[in-house]
Chains A and B, each alone.
Chain A
């Protein structure tokens, strides 16, 4: 299918199929006051999604239900509730094998329950988009924001992006399809946000016109033929090499894994073009940098302001994509920094570990402050960490004794 030929035509719902760059960069934006869950609905409404499979788990339940309304209104081709997250992801895989543009959502323990599917999606080169509204996964139970599940997702072969705001969320859902459906990429995307902080708070979001939509997914741009009998026969397990020779099995599996990760690397150029870089830098020549992703960036930005009031100049780096990981960008952004503070919403500090593994002189990295289990991360805590790192005397935080 020639995508340019259908620009300007209408889809079944009557939306005008619009050049994605015109839609995202040039179309007028209407400021709207929405929760993150509502923003997901608004983005999916314009994404020309064929199939959405839903399952409830807090805090993503509302978004999944709102997409059901889109189905009832005719914006989504098919929509149904699966019987578990593992089943939902399997159903999404089947739909994508059939050549459909697929969307789903999950959170926390649901993400873990679905985990077997994510490397299978990547290995099968299925460009499914899965929203991950992060929450705690450990025992004892917590439904509150905690980003530890991202640490698991980062090694599945999927693209992983981490939205800070509802505006990021809206834009990146639409841009995500454009990147992940590129023939040289063709990988699933885990688009993460910090549950509740983004999904259940309202924000002003600039929306593109509802009468515009993305071009439909073209399965014939897939680097592996889709399962539609129109192409040469494809057998996902053609010649069961496992039974024939372990050596063939090793070689096949190993080379394909490398290809999947190479595809994730090839997404870099498309992602940079769509997201205007893998990172954003504010006041990057400061001696002290705060680096993080998701809403920890917002807290870092506020800490930056508080420190400026005290005469301490701090820069900020917002990491937008975790896979592909912005190695070169981080080396460049941190080359003059003497202290790098990495605030995170998880107990293990996966972000700090990734940064330490990326840049020279990693003793500059302060792996914290970290909160977990759904605790908030007050900017004052980040301020404390910065002051401690540079040997500056600081007051004791209220309510902490001392």
Chain B
């Protein structure tokens, strides 16, 4: 039923623009496309107005390819660079007010459950570090405490990029930025620990250098959020403009940062492990039979 919206209305197919035809005929809707196939199908997000070399855009493209059911997914965002790209994707996008993306997602997720029951309708929040850790902090944490069943993805470029490079709560200590003329005075906020304390069922930190890893994390996060509880992914998505990273060095920077302070981490709650194993056959989470305590 939900695939109907990417079909042509009978009689109008010959009049559809090429972009739309490509999406219907070669898009990933209803298929199980993977990042390894990128380039061989029409992506849900191709055109965008982001800066050349933007790591955030690469990550967003990977994330959207990884959605388990893009035809049943709504993204929610707030002010910031990220929404400029996300709003270009061929899936619904909701923009509310400054920093209220997790509040909107809470209501949206509940509203869809009332209307569609157990039929999976995925809600994915994608917002920057300012939207997630600063202005939207209260609503983010409370959505986790309430165990709202949607995924929150922080696009962490460690700066307010869209407004011209101001310090955020996720900026590293000492960084000199606008509104931090003497360098940031306190540590980068530990949102991962807070997500754990607040009860997220799945948490991961990633960089965009490893597409398969990004895909794996996003898939797990969205699937777990359907039934187990809130999930959180924190992605380093550098701002090459505000941090003066040469375009051709963006991936190199991401690798350096990954080795330094953004190592891949993944937390999966026991409930989530059992759910992924039982429902989706994730082999790594299938409990192995207890070995015989004694051997003759």
User: Which chain A residues have a beta carbon within 8 Å of chain B's beta carbons?
Assistant: 50-51, 53, 77-78, 80, 82-84, 86-88, 90-100, 102, 116-117, 120, 219, 227-240, 243-244
Contact = CB atoms under 8 A, between A and B. Distances in A.
B23 to A, nearest CB: 10
B245 interface: no
A111 to B, nearest CB: 15
A80 B111 contact: no
B111 A96 contact: yes
Contacts of B114: 50-51, 77-78, 98, 100
B121 interface: yes
A95 B98 CA distance: 18
A11 to B, nearest CB: 12
Contacts of B71: 229
B242 interface: no
The 10 closest A-B pairs by CB, nearest first: A98-B111, A94-B107, A90-B103, A95-B107, A90-B100, A94-B108, A94-B104, A91-B107, A100-B111, A95-B111
Given A51-B107, A116-B97, 13 more contacts: A77-B114, A78-B113, A82-B103, A83-B142, A86-B103, A96-B111, A97-B108, A98-B109, A117-B96, A120-B96, A230-B5, A233-B92, A235-B88
Nearest to B85: A240
Contacts of A237: 83, 87, 93, 95
A116 B97 CA distance: 7
B14 interface: no
B5 A94 contact: no
B210 to A, nearest CB: 29
A243 B84 CA distance: 8
A238 B93 CA distance: 8
A125 to B, nearest CB: 13
A82 B110 CA distance: 13
Contacts of B109: 94, 98
B5 A91 contact: no
A78 B109 CA distance: 11
B121 A94 contact: no
Contact of B87 (A50, A84, A231, A235): A235
Nearest to B47: A239
B74 A240 contact: no
A230 B91 CA distance: 11
B95 A100 contact: no
B105 interface: yes
A94 B101 CA distance: 9
Contacts of B87: 235-240
B84 A229 contact: no
Nearest to B142: A83
Contact of A83 (B49, B73, B111, B139): B139
B8 to A, nearest CB: 11
B97 A98 contact: no
B5 A87 contact: no
Contacts of A86: 97, 100, 103
Interface string B247-286: 0000000000000000000000000000000000000000
B189 interface: no
B5 A233 contact: yes
A92 B97 CA distance: 12
B190 interface: no
A93 B96 contact: yes
Contacts of A240: 49, 83-84, 87-88
Given A84-B138, A229-B71, A240-B87, A98 B110 contact: yes
Given A229-B72, A233-B5, A51 B110 contact: yes
B88 A228 contact: no
Given A51-B110, A229-B74, A87 B90 contact: no
5 contacts: A50-B114, A95-B108, A97-B108, A99-B115, A239-B88
Given A120-B97, A228-B121, A98 B115 contact: yes
A230 B72 CA distance: 9
B108 A98 contact: yes
A51 B110 CA distance: 8
Question: Which of B2, B105, B110, B139 lies at the interface centre, i.e. has the most chain A CB atoms within 10 A of its CB?
Answer: B110
Contacts of B223: none
A233 B91 contact: yes
Nearest to B107: A94
Given A97-B104, A233-B91, A87 B142 contact: yes
B4 interface: yes
Given A51-B111, A227-B108, A236-B94, A91 B103 contact: yes
A366 B105 CA distance: 48
Contacts of B100: 86-87, 90, 93, 117
Contacts of B107: 51, 53, 90-98, 100, 102
A239 B74 CA distance: 17
Contact of B111 (A50, A82, A243): A50
B32 interface: no
